[in-house]
Amino acid sequence: MITIYHNPRCKKSRAGLEYLKSKTADFEIKLYLKDDVFTNESLYDIIKKTGKNPVEMIRTQEAYYKQNMKGKDLSSNDIIKLMVENPKLINRPIVVKDEKAVWGDPPEKIEALFK
């Protein structure tokens, strides 16, 4: 099963969803800003599946980041905790299939899940 962590108000996330729809109808949408979908452990697991570090998955243009995180030396655990507490910080969309995950920006990155 494929899961997309989606924010319908985000242009990049909507583009990722449309790309995924063009590939398959067998997926579920998790509205991660509306629903409480992440724990520290689950987000860590998803980020690990992308092959990225937590800091690479932060939306650095968010006000929370600029006011509370920028320039600070935070551990990966601290970053994940802040991302769970403030999900707007998470880059989107994230698409997960089995043991692989991708940050779908640009949407064509989602193709890697179908190879």
Question: Among the options 4, 10, 46, 94, which is catalytic?
Answer: 10
Dihedral sign for Cα atoms in the order 106, 86, 46, 57: positive
Whether 10 is catalytic is: yes
Do residues 104 and 25 lie in contact, with contact meaning Cβ atoms separated by under 8 Å? Answer: no
Q: Which residues of 24-46 are buried (b: 16+ CB within 10 A; e: fewer)?
A: eeebeebebbeeebbeeeebbeb
Residues labelled as active-site residues = 10
